[in-house]
Structure 1
Amino acid sequence: MPATTRRELLKQLGGTAAAFAFVAAAAPLATAAPGSPGPAAAPAAATPRVRTLLARLTLDEKIGLVHGATDPRRLGQAGYLPGVARLGIPELRLSDGPAGVNVARSATGLPPVSTLGAAFNPALARAYGAVMGREGRTLGQDVLLAPQIELSRTPFFSRNKDQSGEDPYLNAVIGAAQVEGVQAQGMLAQAKHFLANNQRLHEFDRADPENSYDFVVDDRTLHELYLPAFEAVVRAGVASVMSAYNHLNGPWNSENRTVLTDLLRGELGFEGFVTSDWGATHSTAALQAGLDMQMWDGSHFGAPLKKAIEDGAVPLAALDTAVSRILGRYDAFGMLDGTRVPARKRIDVEAGARVAREVAVQGAVLLANDGGLPLSPEARRDLALIGPTAAQVAVSVSGERAYGFEDRMVSPLDALRRTTGRKIAYAVGVDLTGTAVPASTLPGGLARAGGGTDANVDFTGDRALPLGTTVTWTGTFVPPTTGEYALNIQGWGAAVSLSLDGEELATASGVRDAFTRKWSSVVPTTDGLDNGRAAPVKLTAGRSYALVVKATGWDDTVVERAPVQVRFAWVTPERRAADIAAAARLARRVHTPVVFAYNGEGGALGGSGDLTTLALPAHQDELIAAVAAANPRTVVVLNTGGPVTMPWRRAVGTVLHAGYVGQEGGWSTADLLLGRANPSGKSIVTWPEKEADHPTLDPAHPERYYGVDRTVTYTEGIFTGYRGFDKAGTEPLFPFGHGLSYTEFAYSALSVRRAGQGYEVSFTVTNKGRRTGAEVPQVYVGPPRHAPVELPVRTLAAFTRVTLRPGRSRRLTLRVAERRLSYWDTDDARWIRPRGSRGVYVGSSSRDIRLRGTAG
């Protein structure tokens, strides 16, 4: 079915929810025979315009269309193709996502996809995509590297914040909606990362690629968990797919014919082009496997590919196929004939801000509430906020996102003060900025390479060094007491680094793609520097440590150069203890303390490595416990990208998971705390009570995450997330789909009837409380009694989102498609629906089942 026809059909079906119903109901697609010889010919669907261009292109011009190059305009995007001006083939610029447009100029700082997914709202996901597509076009971009639609298989995955959770159906719906929103603006979407790219640990060792582990996933698990989201975006007409870094069942994903040709093109029917993840191409052979474009350079698809074609090692037809796929998307989006949706001249800052704020509101999950929220009149009159992300808004962490407009980044503390007109007390609790390390700990001062000595490194504000300054300081650091220190290197206008005894501990304000942002930590320093935070280090009093601080001033290729500011800062053990004690004292004297806690700082989330623990960093568990001991009315707000453990849970009755909240998140958080907005988000992952409870972190199965014999094996199969908890009978801290409200919803009158090859599940939802609120009813199905294979105890089969005023009811009908009732038969390579009646469960989470029925 041509992509244009598919898009028209999806439009007629009324959007993403209907689109995925169409996907799920579709007959199984034929699977290409594994190992079929030779490259595919130019796609039969190639337009006459593309065929004409292909005939006129020279070999060098074709080569130039399949690998990245340097953009002479330096807009700050991730990738660039030069185009062919003589034939009217335009340049192509590819911008990082998946949460906003990541280029040198500012764009709306959207909350990450994990916050979006928690809204369970495809219409909002479509609006989210529209903001990215609209702003990307305005900023001169053509391809958005989004959506990210991997499954959140392990809670340690550093990029869980960038995707919509552990359920394949939810992941598919939210991903397809984003594609629709992006591409309606004339921007090409690139879904990533294909395939089974669910952790950073062992994924790809850049220094030694041969040290990268193999990831072994059986065919049933691939089809039931990891392919549905990609099938959904293909059906939604996604223009491009990014191949992943990791090996999968042997070969690299970027040169895996089974993955790129047999599955993606043969089975899913993908008609667009495949780009490698940046640096994930390993040979010219990848072209014949189904990779169309190497990013970011031409190390394999440049001169080596030309030589391979001239030598006959790679057939010219393989290159023609890749070029045809790329130009086919150019043509489909009107890039070759001037019919492309026109770009807007300027960013509509207010429109983007409205979507960002709504995502932060709808994506907040009220995990527990003993009456602490919304804040009572007494609490508002005598309120204290505690924690660094109370006084600075936690937009998100790390890169591959739009940083946002700094002038809109109002903190929750300021938003509450402005909204209530009250002088709300504040304690930092955990100091992320610290103070400059004093000269008294640096005996003899720090020597500058090339001459000169400085008492310490604190060149900030009026003491900033001249534009472009490059300097290295060396000396000795002698801590005054024994204990755990937080050491920071903070900077702007230069790439800065900190090393102790020959080991680099932290960096900040480094340049990528000709620009940088203040995203080395969850928030910048309080005086506006990028804050490179080392992991806590235990130091011994009186011992001499060799210290090296480097600052390399940005050169004139960097957009928005600035004078060089650099500071070597610390938080001592004594200061940390004093800050916690001060927070507890403040908590004792107010009616309600609200503690804001975070994770993801120091590159631990979204950086080069996965999390190593679900415990909150920087002694925040200690802080929360101290505040809760001082005041039983303590409320906790979590700015995290996923679940954390809660050793203080019995002492804290109210917990709001706000997630990372985007540039407007101060206002959204204030609205939620005050009751101006009603929380309605649902958890997109299962929160384990302890790490070992999670299927991928089960100590009995190290192969599932840590790997054995250089292999990570998905031996849990289809039983990850809530499916694994259900199979093991493990009680979670909070289940998948869980989220409370400031009102109460009742479910009644369940009816299940056959509808075509699936079922229609009807029921009534009533708002029994005193506030308007939104609920997300979820329909799960169980297995038939005598299924030929093991099936999950419950599988999410449908959901919707409904907003009701107090006392109002609504009759809802949700369709369960045949695909949600089927499993992948590996022997016959097809979907099979097992016979027999099965349970139908309707509820407010995977464990909070309100209605039970049977489908015959």
Structure 2
Amino acid sequence: MSGDKVYEPVPKAPGATGLKRRFPILQKKRGKALVVGLAILPLFGLLGLLALRNRHDGSGNGGASGTEGDLITDDTFFYGQSEPVYPSPSMTGTGAWADAYEKAIKFVDQLTIHEKASLASGVTSSTGTTGTLNGCSGNIAAIDRMNFTGLCLTDAGQGVRATDFVSGFPSGIHVGASWNKALTRSRAESMGLEFRVKGANIALGPVVGPLGRVVRGGRNWEGFSVDPYLCGSLAAQTVQGIQSQGVITSTKHFIGNEQESYRNPTAGDVQSVSANIDDKTMHELYLWPFQDAVYAGTGNIMCSYNRVNNSYGCANSKTQNGLLKTELGFQGAVTSDWGALHTGFAASLAGMDMVMPNSDLWGNELVKAVKNGSISEDRLNDMATRIIASWYQMKQDEGFPEPGIGIAPDLTKPHQIVDARNTSSRKILLDGAIEGHVLLKNINSALPLKQPKMLSIFGYSARSPDQWNYQSNTGVGAWTFGGESAYMGRDTIAGFAGVVDSDFTQIAPNGTLFSGGGSGSVTPASVSAPFDALTQRAYDDGTALMWDFYSPEPDVAGDSDACLVIVNAFASEGFDRPGIRDDFTDGLIRHVADRSMGRSPEHHGAHIRSPTRRGVGPSPRIAPLLRREPLGQAPVHGSEKRVGLRTPAIPGPS
């Protein structure tokens, strides 16, 4: 072709064949041996690729073909389909479970098939012995003739949610930064007592999944750490602390639940995201904290929305029957996340024992499945036994409050007040809030504050939200799901189940964060923002205060001894964060730092955020850099000297 480069022919060596002319190395014996070896290596490589191509569940599309352009179109190519593990192991009553197991066996033996199925199937509103409705997240109906008053399951890992007269405890990741097992245990005991007083049989926590693989993950703040050892250690303390109050813990979300995006099936027949995990990584990272929780005696495990190696978490026999009930010897019950059941009796065969909050696929359908032989009555018996054994294990048959007695379904209407708070929790709330703070830098010992004559305070996260109020009984609301500070509307919250592409907020501009958003949020009876604590301290010390919570470029008093810029990064269930920084916050910090002559601490408010943006974190004008996660309701004013250590890594400059 015109314009093509012309390649000169290779000169022919005396006695050389065409192949030898192209590869002169073959003219030597050593060269021939080398080429034979090189030829064998690709052969073995090809055989290896063929083996990988066929390492799937027989679906026929696990690998690529020439006609497909050598594209890998199925992720089973890498880790294979989640292997089947059947039958579901029955509870054995080993160790500390022996007495509860024997009682549960006798209890279940007296039940009808319909009653056994009712124990495994959630109902939207429970009617206990008094016939009153409650506002629990989920319920198991009572069996009056057996003196079983039913079960109330309610959120979550930072305290009792969506009800009145409760405390807001520090978040999991904030307590994780304290590295303090004794504090974690005390926090759990106090939370457990409040769950009990409110009539919550099962507390839907602690969270050990997500572990934190995705830095922008919406629920990372609910767990303790990205380190499986620390996460598992504090999870064990939490399980033991809550259950010491007779409340069952539901350790969640099992397993590989590392992102919120596409966590549920979406329109257009798109299935939930699949967490594809090899065996080594599964055991050394994701399973580790669950193991610690199981060994600590957790009575319940919540299976997750996502798929694991292409099989839904709540219908995955490998993870539930294999890893959890066989390898770890889990004796309690497996409960679905809310709406995570996508099949019928197959999920029970795969190891799930209870569906929440309700499902047309279970209940009477389980009864039909037993009668037509789809599942054995032995399997249904085991499901019921595991549920009742946990009830006996926590001694909930002995004077436990009526399920949901203190959780009204509509707080805007007159209702019985059940105050779950205890004065002994105040020190724990404060200690937990203090010890999770992390001092990232502290030039010239700028913190703690030393009775400044004048203090200037800036930033949207310094104050309390404009609104902290109940919503009517709609099932969703900003207060109910921790969205007051972030202006989260009901449409956004209602979209938790399937929203994957929306303009979610990067920060919470309407005030400080007491928790993240979603089912893990808190609704404390009283709250105290940083500005509230600073105002009280200023009054005691005679400090003059100047503040501006709204301006992106505020004026800075020239005689301020220190300037505080208090900002945050918002995260919530239902969506992953759009990024790890935002221009508004960075600009505010830079503006104040440039005008404060190196006297400007920065106080981050919520989640993993890059403080090392050029001109922000590394700036010599910013003397101290203090970080906290959602710390609950307690007031902290900056004079405390105890600080924690970071559990997730801080991203580098961008």
State the TM-score, normalizing by the size of structure 2: 0.72
Q: What residue is the counterpart of 1:395 in the other structure?
A: 514
1:384 aligned to 2:433?
no
2:198 and 2:87 map into 1 onto residues whose CA distance is 40
Q: What residue is the counterpart of 2:161 in the other structure?
A: 102
AA partner of residue 149 (structure 1): V
Q: What residue is the counterpart of 2:575 in the other structure?
A: 609
Give the 3 Å change call, closer, same or farther, for CA 594–47 of structure 1 in structure 2: closer
Query: Is the 1:152–1:160 contact (alpha carbons within 8 Å) kept by the matching residues of 2?
Result: yes
What SS does the aligned partner of 1:189 have? strand
AA partner of residue 650 (structure 1): P
Q: What residue is the counterpart of 1:441 in the other structure?
A: none
5 Å-filtered alignment, 1:484-563, equals none
| TM-superposed deviation, 1:312 | 1.8
| TM-superposed deviation, 1:339 | 8.7
1:653 aligned to 2:623?
yes
Unaligned runs of 5+ in 1: 1-32, 432-578, 692-856
What SS does the aligned partner of 1:301 have? coil
What SS does the aligned partner of 1:580 have? coil
Of 552, 570, 574, the residue aligned with 1:580 is 552
| TM-superposed deviation, 1:107 | 1.1
Query: Is the 1:334–1:340 contact (alpha carbons within 8 Å) kept by the matching residues of 2?
Result: no
1:193 aligned to 2:161?
no
What SS does the aligned partner of 1:99 have? coil
Percent of aligned pairs sharing the same letter = 26
Of 679, 704, 714, the residue aligned with 2:642 is 679
1:62 aligned to 2:121?
no
Query: Is the 1:66–1:323 contact (alpha carbons within 8 Å) kept by the matching residues of 2?
Result: yes
Cα displacement string for residues 459-496 of structure 1 (whole angstroms, at most 9, x for unaligned residues):
xxxxxxxxxxxxxxxxxxxxxxxxxxxxxxxxxxxxxx
The RMSD of aligned alpha carbons is 2.5
1:598 aligned to 2:647?
no
1:607 and 1:35 map into 2 onto residues whose CA distance is 30
Give the 3 Å change call, closer, same or farther, for CA 169–39 of structure 1 in structure 2: closer
Cα displacement string for residues 665-718 of structure 1 (whole angstroms, at most 9, x for unaligned residues):
xx22x1xx22xx213200001101147xxxxxxxxxxxxxxxxxxxxxxxxxxx
1:622 and 1:41 map into 2 onto residues whose CA distance is 59
AA partner of residue 400 (structure 1): S
Bigger radius of gyration among the two: 2
Q: What residue is the counterpart of 2:501 in the other structure?
A: none
Give the 3 Å change call, closer, same or farther, for CA 384–263 of structure 1 in structure 2: same
Cα displacement string for residues 766-791 of structure 1 (whole angstroms, at most 9, x for unaligned residues):
xxxxxxxxxxxxxxxxxxxxxxxxxx
Give the 3 Å change call, closer, same or farther, for CA 629–399 of structure 1 in structure 2: same
Give the 3 Å change call, closer, same or farther, for CA 82–414 of structure 1 in structure 2: same
| TM-superposed deviation, 1:607 | 3.3
Give the 3 Å change call, closer, same or farther, for CA 690–613 of structure 1 in structure 2: farther
| TM-superposed deviation, 1:355 | 1.3
Q: How many equivalent residue pairs?
A: 495
1:272 and 1:42 map into 2 onto residues whose CA distance is 8
5 Å-filtered alignment, 1:424-823, equals 424-429=544-549, 431=550, 579-581=551-553, 583=554, 585-600=555-570, 605-616=571-582, 619-631=584-596, 632-647=598-613, 648-651=616-619, 652-664=622-634, 667-668=635-636, 670=637, 673-674=638-639, 677-690=640-653
Cα displacement string for residues 413-467 of structure 1 (whole angstroms, at most 9, x for unaligned residues):
23222223245434334x3xxxxxxxxxxxxxxxxxxxxxxxxxxxxxxxxxxxx
Query: Is the 1:366–1:679 contact (alpha carbons within 8 Å) kept by the matching residues of 2?
Result: no
Of 89, 92, 108, the residue aligned with 1:40 is 89
Q: What residue is the counterpart of 1:299 in the other structure?
A: 360
What SS does the aligned partner of 2:114 have? helix
1:414 and 1:340 map into 2 onto residues whose CA distance is 36
5 Å-filtered alignment, 1:308-457, equals 308-336=369-397, 346-371=419-444, 373-375=446-448, 377=450, 380-392=452-464, 393-401=512-520, 403-406=522-525, 408-421=526-539, 422=542, 424-429=544-549, 431=550
What SS does the aligned partner of 2:625 have? strand
2:268 and 2:339 map into 1 onto residues whose CA distance is 13
| Structure with higher RCO (Cα < 8 A, 6+ apart) | 2
| TM-superposed deviation, 1:329 | 1.0
| TM-superposed deviation, 1:206 | 5.0
Q: What residue is the counterpart of 2:150 in the other structure?
A: 91
Q: What residue is the counterpart of 1:519 in the other structure?
A: none
AA partner of residue 643 (structure 1): R
Q: What residue is the counterpart of 2:289 in the other structure?
A: 229
Give the 3 Å change call, closer, same or farther, for CA 243–420 of structure 1 in structure 2: same
Query: Is the 1:636–1:655 contact (alpha carbons within 8 Å) kept by the matching residues of 2?
Result: yes
1:615 and 1:36 map into 2 onto residues whose CA distance is 44
AA partner of residue 188 (structure 1): I
Q: What residue is the counterpart of 2:342 in the other structure?
A: 282
2:170 and 2:590 map into 1 onto residues whose CA distance is 28
1:234 and 1:650 map into 2 onto residues whose CA distance is 43
Query: Is the 1:243–1:275 contact (alpha carbons within 8 Å) kept by the matching residues of 2?
Result: yes
Give the 3 Å change call, closer, same or farther, for CA 128–646 of structure 1 in structure 2: same
1:81 aligned to 2:173?
no
1:246 and 1:687 map into 2 onto residues whose CA distance is 27
More strand by share: 1
What SS does the aligned partner of 2:257 have? coil
1:82 and 1:231 map into 2 onto residues whose CA distance is 30
What SS does the aligned partner of 2:281 have? helix
AA partner of residue 420 (structure 2): I
State the TM-score, normalizing by the size of structure 1: 0.55
Give the 3 Å change call, closer, same or farther, for CA 194–587 of structure 1 in structure 2: farther
| TM-superposed deviation, 1:404 | 4.0
1:423 and 1:205 map into 2 onto residues whose CA distance is 55
Give the 3 Å change call, closer, same or farther, for CA 41–114 of structure 1 in structure 2: closer
Unaligned runs of 5+ in 2: 1-81, 407-417, 465-511
Give the 3 Å change call, closer, same or farther, for CA 187–306 of structure 1 in structure 2: same
1:149 aligned to 2:112?
no
AA partner of residue 427 (structure 1): W
2:400 and 2:133 map into 1 onto residues whose CA distance is 26
Q: What residue is the counterpart of 1:71 in the other structure?
A: 126
1:168 and 1:640 map into 2 onto residues whose CA distance is 21
